[in-house]
Amino acid sequence: MTYTPVEMMTVAAARALGNHDICFVGIGLPSAACNLARLTHAPRICLIYESGTLATRPDVLPLSIGDGELCETALTTVPVPEVFRYWLQGGRVTVGFLSGAQVDRFANLNSTVIGDYARPEVRLPGSGGATEIATACGQIFIVMRHGARSFVKHLDFLTSLGHGRTGHERRELGIRTKGPTLLVTDLCIMRPEAETCELVVTSLHPGITREQVSKNTGWEVRFADTVLETDPPSESELEVLRDLHARTARAHGAAGGSE
Amino acid sequence: MEFLSLNDAIEHHVNNGDQVALEGFTHLIPFAAGHEIIRQGRRDLTLIRMTPDLIYDQMIGMGTARKLVFSWGGNPGVGSLHRFRDAVEHGWPAPLEIVEHSHAAMASAYEAGAAGMPCAFFRGYRGSDLPGVNGNIRFVPCPFTGEELACVPAIRPDVTIIHAQRADLKGNVLIEGIVGVQKEAVLAARRAVVTVEEVVDDFGPCISNAVVLPAWTVSAVVLAPQGARPSYAHGYYSRDNAFYLAWDEIARERANFLAWMRKNVMR
C-alpha cells in the first residue's frame, strides 16, 4: 500500500503511545496521532484536551481543542483552571504531545513569533497550554514536518522549554520531568543523545536518505551510531487513519482535519 | 440583576476604554454581544481572552481595541487570525499593545480575580522567553520550601460577558458542557453581562453540580438565541467548523474583511 510522508509521520508518532499513557493532546498533528493510537494498538489510552475533557474518545478529529465531540465522548469535563492546576501541574499526565513552528537541536519549541518579538515578520498564535505542558508532563513527544526553515540553529523565540539552549537547562532549573524524548518528522525519528541531550537521528523512514535529512535541517544534524529503518505503515494502520480523516472531513463540512 | 435587550446591556455596561473579557473556551463564545460592541462603535478597549478566536479578530479588525491580553491567538485547527496578525505586524487598523501569557497563567489569573486575591502563584514559565517580554510575569520564592514560583497579577475586568444555555426567571444562569473559565471570569469582574439561549421558568431537575451563577453575581441577562454562533451551545447547536475554515479566506485581506463585516454584522 502506498502512503504519504505525513501518514508515515502520524503512524510513527502513534506507535510511541501505549495503553498506560495519560496523554495531554495538542491540536493538529498530535491529535491525529493520539487518536490513531487509541483506535489501533492502545485502546485504553487516556486522552486529555486542555478544554478540560478527560479520557475523551472522539469519533472524528476535533477541529478545535473544545469541539462538542470531545465533551460528549469524555469520561468527565472539568473547568479550564482545574485541568491546568490539578491535572497538568499536579503531575497526573505521563506524556505531552506538542508541535511548533520552529524546533532547535535541543528540542526547544517556538510557537510565538518569527522575527523580532516587538516587530514580528510573522505573528504566530503563541503558547496556549504548551509552555507548562513542556515542563509538567512526565515526558514530551514532538511531531513536526521537517524543513530547514522550521528546524533551525537558533529559535527566534523560546516558547516551550526542551532541554534548553545548552542542553542541560532542565537540571539547572530543578525540573524533574524528562522533557522531549522523541521527535517524529515526515523524514525520520530523532531522540536526544544521553550525554548532550542533542537530538540525533535514530531511524529513517523507508526510502529517506541521510542527505535529505541533512538538507532539511538548519543545524549540522548528527546520526546515532545505529540508524534503523522505520517500519512502514501497515495496511490496518493506514485504513484506520484514512477512515478517521474521511469521517472528520465529512463532519466538518470541508477538507478539515487532514493533519 | 435585570433583564435587558442586547442593545441596552452593551450601552449600559461597556464603556470606551474599559477592560472587557468575553470568555468561553471554544464553546459558548459570546459572538452576538461582541457584534453589538462593534455596532455601537466602542473604542480603546482592553480586550481580555485566553483564545481571542474569530470574535476578537473581528473586534480588532473593526478598531475597537487598544490592547489585547491573551494566551493563544490562532484560528483553532485552521491557522492564523489574519486581523490580529495585521494589527500586530502592521498596526492596522490601529497599533495593538499585547500582553501575552500562557493558558495556565491566564486561568490562574482569573481564579485569583474571582478569589479576591491580588495575584496568582503557579509552577510555570520555566525556561520560556515569555517572562522576558511580559513584565507582569514575575518569580517569587515559596515562603515554606524556597521553590521559585511564577506569579502573575489577578485579572479584574471592568466587565465580563459570557454566553450560557439558560437563565431562570430570577436571573440565575446555568452553564453545561465545556465550562471553560466563565465562572471565574464573571466572579472576577466588576460587572457581568450574560447572554442566554433561553429563559425558563425554573431549571427543573438538573445535575446538582452543573455550573450555576446566582442572579446576584450577574448585572444583566440578555435573551440572545443563537448568540454563540459560529461557536456552539452544547445541547442547542454544534460548532460551525465549516465557517471557521471559511473565515481564513474572509479575513485574509482587509477589503474583503470589511465588506463581510458590513454585510453580516453592521447591518
**B65-70 vs B97-100, strand pairing mode:** parallel
C-alpha A96/C-alpha A80 separation (Å) is: 17
- What's the Rg (C-alpha) of chain A? 18
Query: Could you give the 3-state DSSP secondary structure of residue B78?
Result: coil
CB of B158 within 8 A of CB of B15? yes
Instruction: Say whether pLDDT at A259 is over 90.
Output: no
Place of cell 458590513: B262
Instruction: Say whether pLDDT at B140 is over 80.
Output: yes
Return the number of CB contacts < 8 Å for A and B.
191
Of A27, A120, A253, the CB nearest to B77: A27
A213-240 pLDDT per residue, tens: 999 999 999 999 999 999 999 999 999 9
B147-205 pLDDT per residue, tens: 999 999 999 999 999 999 999 999 999 999 999 999 999 999 999 999 999 999 999 88
B236-258 pLDDT per residue, tens: 999 999 999 999 999 999 999 99
- What's the Rg (C-alpha) of chain B? 18
pLDDT of residue B205: 80
A3-14 pLDDT per residue, tens: 999 999 999 999
C-alpha B155/C-alpha B11 separation (Å) is: 23
Helix H or strand E segment including A153 = none
pLDDT of residue B267: 81
Instruction: Say whether pLDDT at A257 is over 50.
Output: no
Q: Is A211 a catalytic residue?
A: no
B20-77 pLDDT per residue, tens: 999 999 999 999 999 999 999 999 999 999 999 999 999 999 999 999 999 999 999 8
pLDDT of residue A254: 56
Mean pLDDT of all residues in chain B?
97
Best CA proximity match to B195, nearest among B58, B30, B48, B11: B30
Size (chain B), residues:
267
A99-151 pLDDT per residue, tens: 999 999 999 999 999 999 999 999 999 999 999 999 999 999 999 999 999 99
Instruction: Say whether pLDDT at B18 is over 80.
Output: yes
- Tell me the chain A residues in contact with residue B77 when contact means C-beta distances shorter than 8 Å: 27-28, 62-64, 256-257
Please, what's the largest Cα pairwise distance for chain B? 59
Best CA proximity match to A12, nearest among A255, A139, A162, A202: A202
Q: Output the CA–CA distances (angstroms, integers) from residue A202 to A35, A190, A226, B60, B69, in the order listed.
A: 24, 5, 7, 46, 42
Residue B89 to residue A170, Cβ atoms within 8 A = no
C-alpha B41/C-alpha A31 separation (Å) is: 39
β partners of residue B68 = B47, B98
B63-91 pLDDT per residue, tens: 999 999 999 999 998 999 999 999 999 99
B 152-171 near A (Cβ less than 8 A):
none
- Tell me the chain B residues in contact with residue A28 when contact means C-beta distances shorter than 8 Å: 77
- Tell me the chain B residues in contact with residue A135 when contact means C-beta distances shorter than 8 Å: 123-124, 126-127
The residue type found at B161 is: I
A157-200 pLDDT per residue, tens: 999 999 999 999 999 999 999 999 999 999 999 999 999 999 99
Of A79, A173, A252, the CB nearest to B127: A173
Q: Output the CA–CA distances (angstroms, integers) from residue A200 to A93, A189, A191, A225, B100, in the order listed.
A: 26, 8, 6, 10, 33
Query: Could you give the 3-state DSSP secondary structure of residue A101?
Result: coil
Q: Cis peptide before B131, with omega less than 30 degrees from 0? A: no
- Cβ of residue B56 closer than 8 Å to a chain A Cβ: no
Best CA proximity match to A89, nearest among B51, B211, B149: B149
**Which one of the listed residues A7, A50, A69, A169 is annotated catalytic?**
A50
Mutate which of A61, A80, A161, A166 to disrupt the B interface (most B C-beta within 10 Å)?
A: A80
Of A51, A130, A170, the CB nearest to B26: A51
- CA A121 from chain center: how many Å? 25
Residue A64 to residue B77, Cβ atoms within 8 A = yes
Instruction: Say whether pLDDT at A258 is over 80.
Output: no
pLDDT of residue A255: 45
Instruction: Say whether pLDDT at B208 is over 80.
Output: no
pLDDT of residue B87: 98
CA distance A131 to chain B (A): 6
β partners of residue A160 = A109
Does the ipTM exceed 0.85?
yes
Place of cell 478598531: B63
Place of cell 498533528: A29
